[in-house]
Amino acid sequence: MRDLLGYLNARVGVLKGVLPLSHAGAARDALAGVQLASMDIPQVLGYARIAGMPAVTGLYTVFLPLVAFAFFGASRHLVVAADSATATIFASRLSTMAPASSAEYASLAAMVALLTAALLFVARIFKLGFLADFLSRTVLVGFLAGVGVQVGIAMLGDMSGVPGHAARSVDQLALVVRESTQIHWPTLAISLLVVVSILACKRFLPRVPVPLIAVVAGIAASDVYGFAAHGIAVLGPVAGGLPGLSMPSVTWQQMLDLFPVAASCFVMIVAQSAAASRVFAERYHEAVDVNADLLGIAAANAAAALSGAFVVNGSPTQTAMADRAGTRSQVAQLVFAAVVVLVLLFFSRFLQYLPHCILASIVLTIAIGLIDLKTLFAIRRESPGEFALAVFTAAAVVLIGVEHGILVAVALSLLRHVRHSYRPHTMILAPGQDGVWVPVPAVPGIETAPGLIVYRFGADLFYANDHFFVDDTRRLIADAPSPVRWFVIDASAITDVDYSAARSVGELCESLKHGGIGVIFARVNRYLRSDMDRHGITPIVGASCIFGTLHEALRSAGVEKPHKHVKDAS
């Protein structure tokens, strides 16, 4: 058996998250898997509630999908299961297409999972794991905070016993406030007890599975005291047994309508899964293979679709829970799946007594956990501008919905990157107090020496910032204290020049030369030199005016022994 597993791992490239494994490691992970099941089963029931799916489908997400990822994925730590962010993304759209928990709704949810699997598989083929880098951590924190607020608002009705439901968060909050006279006080009391217990134990007794205790106690009390007869809503009959396998049945038009939803789930999965796998791989000094994980998550979502579940994700929250439980390989997740099989076969009938308010309370504590105030305050302290982006993203999720919120998050991440490239830091070498040249911000009225300006541009040159480069250069020359004879461009931060920027730079260099100003490029790397040759900048400037070091460039400009003047030009 060990030889077969080793062959599959070495030749086929599967079971990377399981092997190598010792007997002691297997025993440790088996115990950790049981503990993880005790903590996570109530949560996946809550995620099914967020998703608008029957409660039992939450258990389905931690059966075949877990097994599929353990077989095809690479991370030894990542837990791929139901997740609040992706559940909220597709539920916000599906709720407008079919009644929640209906057969049609379940088919639509399964198709979203299948489409998401297809996108992930395509991403694996083309090795698009790098896409995770385009959703900044700042914006991701804001997005998850917005999801937390939205999910928390959605749970207020079940927690207070107020009837009715609204699709938009603002409308749901207004509904609860407007109907506050209909609060069912026993329901609210149970909800507050559960929330306080979970949050208190999470702070002081983090290893105690309070959600599981709340579920078991709630089921027992509901059965004994007849909660349903006293106005406390319960789940009702829950289908038992293992899930059947079938293809989701939807129309062609419905599939087209669901594609943007799947794309939003895809973006969130790539970002969250990559972040979680990297964090825990670095913690234990292990290699990261994002592309192999994409294949594993694609297989997991395909398994979810075929088994009547919904989109699964590499959840940072559940991965952290698994780490606290002591898991060090996917063996723990396989044991978790085995525990779920026992629950489905022998204990699912007891779920019918579970009060909605307990499930909603568990979900609320999950939502609170998504609002990372510590990180938000750290962002505010270190970078107020990025904090504003995070808050704006959170507000977008709450006000316009999760599906559009993820698009806003991606757009803001890209805009933030473009903004830094569009307005990079620029510097000039200027005399310091001791006569040594030091880099200072490039503002008009400063020169390096009489007749000389050494200018550093802090980004690649492309179509969006070439005018900034040209205008900045002209201002510095026009406002220099003495007529400029040499303009030295420190190109150490420039590795690429596109066609548009090359035209602008070439025209600038020609104009300066006609005005009697010599242009010299310093610290030119081979990539930039190749672009300068290809775009025709080299003939304009002259090959004799392009240097690999700043000292050579300054010597060419007539500065004797420049190393005595330059302190730090980086």
Q: What is the pLDDT of residue 80?
A: 93
- With tokens 């204290």, the residue in question is 481
pLDDT at position 91 is: 87
**Is the Cα torsion angle 166, 169, 173, 174 positive or negative in sign?**
negative
**Per the structure block, which two tokens stand in for 499?**
């066609």
CB 309 within 8 A of CB 56: no
Q: Rounded to whole angstroms, what are the CA distances from 19 to 16, 71, 283?
A: 6, 10, 18
Phi and psi at residue 76, to the nearest 5°: -85, -10
Instruction: Copy the structure tokens of residue 130.
Output: 């790098």
Q: Find out whether 476 and 442 touch, Cβ atoms under 8 Å.
A: yes
CA distance 310 to 326: 27
* Run means of pLDDT, 10 residues per run, the chain, 570 residues: 50 66 81 82 82 90 94 90 85 88 93 96 85 72 83 86 77 85 90 92 83 88 88 81 90 93 88 75 77 92 95 82 78 92 87 85 83 89 86 86 71 75 88 82 92 93 92 94 94 93 95 94 94 94 93 86 52
Give the global pTM: 0.70
Residue 360: C-alpha distances to residues 46, 59, 144, 212 (Å): 7, 17, 18, 14
Residues across the chain? 570
Write out pLDDT tens, residues 321-357: 787 777 888 899 999 999 999 989 988 888 888 888 8
Interstrand relation of 486-490 and 518-522 (parallel, antiparallel or unpaired): parallel
Q: How far apart are CA 109 and CA 307, in angstroms?
A: 11
List where CATH 3.30.750.24 sits in the chain: 423-564
- Contact call for residues 393 and 408 (beta carbons, < 8 A): yes
Q: Which CATH architecture has domain 423-564?
A: 2-Layer Sandwich (3.30)
**Residue 510's pLDDT is what?**
95
| Tens-place pLDDT, residues 248-305 | 989 999 999 999 999 989 988 887 787 777 767 767 778 778 888 999 999 999 999 9
Q: How far apart are the C-alpha atoms of 140 and 317, rounded to whole Å?
A: 14
Count CA within 13 A, CB hemisphere, residue 444.
9
